[in-house]
Amino acid sequence: MATASVAFKSREDHRKQIELEEARKAGLAPAEVDEDGKEINPHIPQYMSSAPWYLNAERPSLKHQRKWKSDPNYTKSWYDRGAKIFQADKYRKGACQNCGAMTHDSKSCMERPRKVGAQWTNKHIAPDEKIETFELDYDGKRDRWNGYDASSYALVIERYEARDNARRKYLKEQQLKKLEEKNNNQNDEDGDGDGDGDSDEEDDEDDLRVDEAKVDESKQMDFAKVEKRVRTTGGGSTGTVRNLRIREDTAKYLLNLDVNSAHYDPKTRSMREDPLPDADPNEKFYEGDNQYRNSGQALEFKQLNIHAWEAFDKGQDIHMQAAPSQAELLYKNYKVIKEKLKYQTKDTILERYGNAAAEEELPRELLLGQSEREVEYDRAGRIIKGQELALPRSKYEEDVFINNHTCVWGSWWKDHQWGYKCCKQTIRNSYCTGAAGIEAAEAVNELMKSNIARKGATEEVAAPVEEKRLATWGTDVPDDLELDEKLLAEALKKEDIRKREEKDERKRKYNVRWEDEVTAEDMEAYRMKKVHHDDPMKAFLS
């Protein structure tokens, strides 16, 4: 606890102070605040948080742990590389005999040795360099990246990107080459060589995927990465651990950002309570550390520890940390003996007192013949009252006749419609017409059937409609258009050659002649070869 100068406290005040510290460590009380309004970690030891008496600190603070003396001469800047300060026109006395700069001598000159130095030629005098001196602090002297230009790493990135682009281009060319060879060989292959062609095709595809597989392996997550823990002075490893954390999972302290939610202890990385107590339990994957402590193998391990403690108190030589295998074996034997003793006690009780549940079952007439209904009989044994059953009635009105109907709605059904049986009407609020209405409805139906039959007999047969001939992609073709099959085949070949030249510019010839005349066959070939991006069968046509 970060306290001010030590003052005398009574026993009661000292006890309250200790309880407050424990509450702050457990997260039940707010942390202490220093002079700047920042919270002080309650887990900091007292010998570090308490200020010396000679500082006369009135409020809790951690300023006495910070460096309060700073040298203004220390800097973290670096040399201005390549900076020039002055360009002379002629050689000056005391300058470098080789290049003519005043900032160094001929022994320290970094320029190529001239055949005739600048001292004698008085030409091409080099500019003076910028000389700087720094007094670095402790961190600046040991900073291995001090003065590093981060923009220089762009050259490394460009080199790797150029290599990846060249690799992708090479793979694409190889794949196109394989596809062209396969298309050329399909025309020459016979039916007997189909199996061999499929196997060769699979081998080619496997060869093309080799480099892709290598790249995928390099991009794998380091989920199964094995790291060594080095804790000994000699540098030996005490064991290995696998990195089992999935980086996409949300951290437990970010599940609920409310300050009044479950407390998270950053030192032990524990959150005992549930951060989302009101959420759906089927959608939660984390319910606090207490859930893990009270379920699964943690509960079994707790019972194992309790058994080891109780056995040790009763005089058995058992220790969970010294001999865990022995403790687990004794606990298993204890559970087996306890189960046997339980069944033995049960058998003893059944043997002495018997088992009423295992005897013969009572007849069904006796089990179901009892009821709480009261029935009265006379001297002759006849039932006076209590035997009759009350008919169940619904909450709706029953046997209510409206509009002069003698039957209720729903008493008649025909052609998937409900109606009244008395007049055979399917309209709910209609007025009852009786037998006359039934006869009138039948007469109307017969008249409708006769009219339909007469109309079908006199109706002329419709003339067949001549189907319109459509082009490849649904456009209308004029009636006078006639396509020549030979010219259409030649146009299709020309279209294939044109598309192949568009894919590979290297196959285009130097002397290219353009024809402005487009025939109907050329237009039809263009429609047949055109790629429609919204066509769901596009992948199978290419």
The 10s digit of each residue's pLDDT in 438-462 is 888 888 888 888 888 888 887 755 5
pLDDT at 319 over 50: yes
pLDDT at 365 over 70: no
Confidence of residue 239 (pLDDT cuts 50, 70, 90): very low
Torsion of CA 218, 224, 228, 229, to 10 degrees: 130
pLDDT at 203 over 80: no
Which pLDDT does position 304 carry in this prediction?
A: 92
pLDDT at 83 over 80: yes
CA gap 40, 50 in Å, rounded: 12
Share of the chain above pLDDT 90, in %: 24
Task: For residue 273, give both structure tokens.
Answer: 């309570």
Which pLDDT does position 208 carry in this prediction?
A: 52
Mean pLDDT of 389-394: 61
- 46-60, 213-227, 298-312 — most confident range: 298-312
Task: For residue 250, give both structure tokens.
Answer: 């949300």
Instruction: State the average pLDDT for the chain.
Output: 79
pLDDT at 121 over 90: yes
CA gap 329, 335 in Å, rounded: 10
Contact 144, 82 (CB under 8 A): no
DSSP helix, strand, coil percent of the chain (3-state; round to 5): 40, 5, 50
Confidence of residue 60 (pLDDT cuts 50, 70, 90): confident
Place of tokens 């058992």: 318
Residues 6 or more apart in contact with residue 5 via CB below 8 angstroms: 51, 53, 55, 56, 57, 58
Which pLDDT does position 221 carry in this prediction?
A: 45
Mean pLDDT of 36-54: 88
- Of 83-97, 264-278, 334-348, 395-409, the one with minimum mean pLDDT is 395-409
Mean pLDDT of 509-519: 67
Which pLDDT does position 103 carry in this prediction?
A: 92
Which pLDDT does position 424 carry in this prediction?
A: 86
For the chain, the straight-line distance linking the first and the last C-alpha, in angstroms and rounded, comes to 75
Residue 163, helix vs strand vs coil? helix
pLDDT at 505 over 70: no
Confidence of residue 236 (pLDDT cuts 50, 70, 90): very low
CA gap 387, 375 in Å, rounded: 6
Which pLDDT does position 219 carry in this prediction?
A: 43
Mean pLDDT of 200-216: 53
Which pLDDT does position 514 carry in this prediction?
A: 63
Question: Which position has the higher pLDDT, 168 or 477?
Answer: 168
Mean pLDDT of 216-242: 47
Confidence of residue 220 (pLDDT cuts 50, 70, 90): very low
Q: CB burial class (10 A; 0-12, 13-18, 19+) of residue 141?
A: exposed
CA gap 477, 489 in Å, rounded: 19
CA gap 521, 531 in Å, rounded: 18
CA gap 311, 323 in Å, rounded: 14
Residue 79, helix vs strand vs coil? coil
Question: Which position has the higher pLDDT, 110 or 382?
Answer: 110
Which pLDDT does position 126 carry in this prediction?
A: 94
